[in-house]
A and B are shown apart, each in its own frame.
Chain A
Amino acid sequence: MKNKEPIILLVVVFFSLLTYYLVEPYAHHVMHKHVESEGFAYKDLPELTKTGDATRGQELVMGAGACVGCHSIEAAGMPAAMEPQMAAASYGVNPPDLSNAGVVYDEKFLADLIKNPAHALKVEHKYTPESGKMHPMVAFYGAGGDIDQEVADMVAYLKSIAVSQEELTPRMAYELACGRCHAMSYENWTQIGEKPSFKHEKDSLAYDIKVLEYQDSLKAYMGKLPPDLSMYIRSRGEHFVSTFIENPQSHLEGTAMPRVGVTAETAEKVIEHMQDVGDTKRHEREAVGKNVMIYIIIFAILALLWKKQVWRDLH
């Protein structure tokens, strides 16, 4: 009698794979729009044409640029004037500390942001003339000289005070780029910082009230409370998160979420942090997986040999 098992196996595998292909890759391809990454090149923003001077930049940032009217720069000894929830009550969201802005954000993005915040952030649809609303960050109209030179100077200054790319940890990247709007409860992160452990419950509750106050302002500013990102790496996947960070409008046209403007390296770090929170056991999974595979393959070989031995007498 002819052995039909190989052909039967082929039929079973074929129909299983066909079903898998249709319900997984193909269905997802149809259901979700595919967004290609530009590699965080920000091609829509103009290149910096001038070489910046950090010393002049410092004068502008501290003086005529009026950055420090709203932003703290702890690296330059300028702490925040208000607590985060108070700042959010004024601006909608706590303006970021600029100490590491030079390493987290792309320089083209920073330059465009200084000149035209709503444009760089891709939220111009929110601030149309009809809406009567103004972006809380005031545009820089120049300090009397060549505005492009002045902007380049300020960017150069921000880069000069920032930590190096190597010193920027995934956690820092997340906190700066995402953390003022998105909590990450699995890491104890709130929009106003990491919640300390308090000895007394009333202190803990007082902290929670500040968070709630901050969230109320944020809700009014963004339209809804931005989601907690603890499990987003599992619910959205790396590709979605990455392209969404690059340009939220590409996935969700009209969203209130601004373009974050981070560099490609920072985006990678943000994703790494999200994996450190939502997929903590990924390295262990790889390692355990290999060992389990070795064990099972040995089991399968032994089972095969046993079958051969038992069946020798049956034919």
Chain B
Amino acid sequence: MAHFTKATSVKDWLNQRLAIEKVEKVMASEYWIPKNINFLWAMGMVLVITFMLLLVSGIFLLMYYQPNIDTAFYSVNYTIMREVDFGWLWRHIHGVAASVVFLIIYIHMFTGIYYGSYKQGREMIWVSGMLLFVAFSAEAFSGYMLPWGQMSYWAGMVITNLFAGGSLHADFLVEWIRGDYVPAQAFLTRFFMLHVLLIPLAILGLIGLHFATLRIPHVNNQDGEEIDFDAEAKKYLAGDKAGSKVMRFANDFMSKDMMVVGVYLIFFFYLVFWNYGFAMDPVNFDPADGLKTPAHIYPEWYFLWSYEILRPFSVDIGLIAFAFAQVIFVLLPWLDRSPNTIPANRRGMFAIWFWVMLVNMIVLTAMGKLPPEDPFSTIGLVSALLFIAQWVMLPFITKNEKRA
């Protein structure tokens, strides 16, 4: 057993039992961050804050929401929106944060792709991040079912139908997922469970994993510079703060994180109070009606690009393309054959690949929402083919990249 002495202070008491000083060093003051990074490196903190907003607002909503197909819509639109003090605020925060969190995730992802932050020891950062993306997607979808509006019902119908696998006609799988032939009570209750328990647990675990993956390879930097963290940290601790290439996570980088968070929150609350329509689809303010299909069924904006990869093809090919789009990002660290961990603008062909990918995904997003008629469906088809072609090309264009 460890040897304990009489504590001289509360801190000392805790130190003997929990090593809080050491923990603080490891997690904050001696967690070294390169200095040559820009505000895009604060997106992780922005995501943490947004997740906290989702969690807290979700807890308040959970106190009044009723997962019952007869009362769910009423509990959201009457009880929470009208009766509960500030219920409307919690709902708007929850709805807007659920949408904005994906904007930040995409910025975070494309930052990683641009600076090559998934290579040479950082593969697990990327993989755990992509797992988080999948978990957040499931969380967003299951949450979208809960108000039991028209879009909840019909999105639930369409997305669960995908599991029939086209010509495989695996209807038993669809029924197993729904717990019924159509989305009904069993469906709502299980998605409620997924949304408030199982997926949040997975997300919390994955966030822990995502942080842990950063520990050994350290955060990348914007110049593709290989930094000797131990040597630079020594320099910093010796007093040469200005000369060292690294800084403490807290308070050094944290202060910048908070500055970015401040600007972000101004934008976020502007959306919550004055421009929430994009995140709270009007169609979902009609109660679910299994006998009335909405004129246009579309997913929320953050799923549109993958929806558009599914849509322009025949059912089976569409499903294969869709499945491809879902998993291909995870494989990025192995599809990129180049040894260079430098920003895309110094990587020749890859720079073109990056910007085409970004613009093409925006085109796919737009076409995914527009009705499937010409010229939109043709543009969508070309974009979807381009998306697939780009991923097939990636190993070849990166293999011949010159070593920087």
Contacts and interface: CB of A to CB of B under 8 A. Distances in A.
Interface string B249-292: 00110011011011101100110111001101011111100000
Given A8-B39, A296-B262, A300-B263, A30 B371 contact: yes
Interface in B57-85: 77-78, 81-82
A27 B300 CA distance: 13
A134 interface: no
A227 B287 CA distance: 10
Contact of B285 (A30, A186, A234): A234
A307 B258 contact: yes
A143 interface: no
Contact of A293 (B258, B270, B296, B376): B270
B282 A8 contact: no
Contact of B81 (A281, A286, A302): A281
The A interface is mostly helix, strand or loop, or mixed, namely helix
B177 to A, nearest CB: 28
A270 B365 CA distance: 37
B261 A303 contact: yes
A23 B369 contact: yes
Contacts of B107: 12, 16
Interface string B235-251: 00000011000010001
Contacts of A236: 282
A231 B263 CA distance: 34
Interface string A270-284: 000000001011001
Given A26-B366, A27-B370, A281-B88, A306 B286 contact: no
B35 interface: yes
Contacts of B265: 296, 299-300
B259 A300 contact: yes
Given A27-B369, A313-B242, A315-B242, A280 B81 contact: yes
A303 B301 contact: no
A292 B280 CA distance: 20
B362 interface: yes
A263 B252 CA distance: 64
Interface string B299-310: 001001000000
B71 to A, nearest CB: 13
B28 interface: no
A120 B38 CA distance: 65
Contacts of A186: 77-78, 82
A239 B258 CA distance: 40
A43 interface: no
B82 A5 contact: no
A311 B259 CA distance: 12
A300 B285 contact: no
B358 interface: yes
A288 B89 contact: yes
A141 interface: no
Nearest to A19: B362
A297 B252 CA distance: 22
B39 A310 contact: no
Contact of B259 (A26, A227, A280, A307): A307
The B interface is mostly helix, strand or loop, or mixed, namely helix
B131 interface: no
B378 interface: no
A10 interface: no
A31 interface: yes
Interface string B342-382: 00000000000000001000100110011100001000000
B320 interface: no
B103 interface: yes
A240 B156 CA distance: 27
Contacts of A303: 255, 258-259, 261-262
Given A300-B266, A314-B35, A314-B247, A231 B286 contact: yes
Contact of B252 (A278, A288, A310): A310
Given A292-B269, A296-B269, A5 B285 contact: no
B259 A304 contact: yes
A31 to B, nearest CB: 5
Contacts of A22: 362, 365-366, 369
B255 A310 contact: yes
B40 interface: yes
A68 B94 CA distance: 54
Contact of B255 (A5, A18, A311): A311
B366 A23 contact: yes
A199 interface: no
A31 B370 CA distance: 7
B312 to A, nearest CB: 17
24 contacts: A12-B107, A15-B362, A19-B365, A23-B278, A23-B304, A26-B366, A30-B371, A30-B376, A31-B371, A231-B285, A232-B285, A235-B282, A278-B77, A289-B269, A293-B266, A296-B265, A297-B266, A299-B262, A300-B259, A303-B259, A306-B258, A307-B256, A310-B252, A314-B247
Given A278-B77, A314-B247, 14 more contacts: A4-B38, A9-B39, A12-B107, A23-B301, A186-B82, A234-B285, A288-B89, A288-B273, A293-B270, A296-B265, A297-B266, A300-B263, A306-B255, A309-B255
Report, nearest first, the 4 A-B pairs whose CB atoms are least far apart.
Answer: A300-B262, A289-B273, A235-B285, A22-B366
Interface of A: 1, 4-5, 8-9, 12, 15-16, 18-20, 22-24, 26-27, 30-31, 186, 227, 230-232, 234-237, 278, 280-281, 284-286, 288-289, 292-293, 296-297, 299-304, 306-307, 309-311, 313-315
